[in-house]
Amino acid sequence: MAPVKTIAVIIAMKAEAAPLVEHLGLKKAEPSPFPGPIPAEVFSGAVGDATVHVCCNGEAKGFGVDSVGTVPAALTAYQICEHLKPDLLINAGTAGGFKAMGGAIGDVYLATAFKNHDRRIPIPGFDAYGVGHADAAPCPALRLATGFKPGVVSTGNSLDAPDVDVESLKKNEASVKEMEAAGIAHVCAMFDVPLLAVKAITDIVDGDKPTQDEFLENLGAAAKALQGAVPKVIEFVAGKELGAL
């Protein structure tokens, strides 16, 4: 099994990515390595013996905000797999946690699996497809080295959590609620690219504060947590064979 030499990190929001890009000393790739009108931005450089690309989804045309959700994430992931040819893809970002699952603001999770909580298709066969299930790349040594919490990452396209989504999240046994990873996992399965996800908790889904308020309040702190967490992951995996993770 070949060693991990090219690592891509996909982060939805530029504010989440900026501290990491600065910390790693990466430079914006100009022109973009991605053809066509996709607005994704790529920041590249060497970290140890590995080539690292940090990719953001870019600005949503006509809205002036970051492109978030499963569709932009999947589009960016497709371009990454097609043109950057990573040995390993890491989805990093902020997310909601659950006090019922032992989660707290500032916790960092390393995903065990990816599911959807807002794709409800009550037709035989399609029901299982709607929820989906993709395992994260096995990484017992990495988990031991970092001490990050394990948990299922559940993906939906809404920041809030109405009752119907809460029920789905419980069925998924989710420790993390976010808006990208399952879409990225779908693409990684197509390209047979192993996927890890590192998520820093900004808000508690089953807590007392409105999600949007708690998210904005803790976004900066969570971005800094990623700044510390993701380099640890990169430094650990770079140069190792996947089977040694």
Task: List the beta bridge partners of residue 51.
Answer: 6, 46
pLDDT at 216: 86
**1 within some domain:** no
Q: State which residues of the chain have pLDDT below 70.
A: none
pLDDT at 171: 97
pLDDT at 15: 87
Cα–Cα nearest to 57, from 72, 44, 45: 72
pLDDT at 240: 92
pLDDT at 224: 82
pLDDT at 218: 85
**179 within some domain:** yes
Please list the active-site residues.
16, 203
Residue 182, domain extent? 6-240
pLDDT at 71: 98
Q: What is the pTM of this model?
A: 0.95
Per the structure, the count of domains in the chain is 1
Main-chain dihedrals φ then ψ at residue 58, nearest 5 degrees: 90, 180
Whichever domain contains 94, its CATH number is 3.40.50.1580
Q: Strand 50-56 relative to strand 6-11: parallel, antiparallel, unpaired?
A: parallel
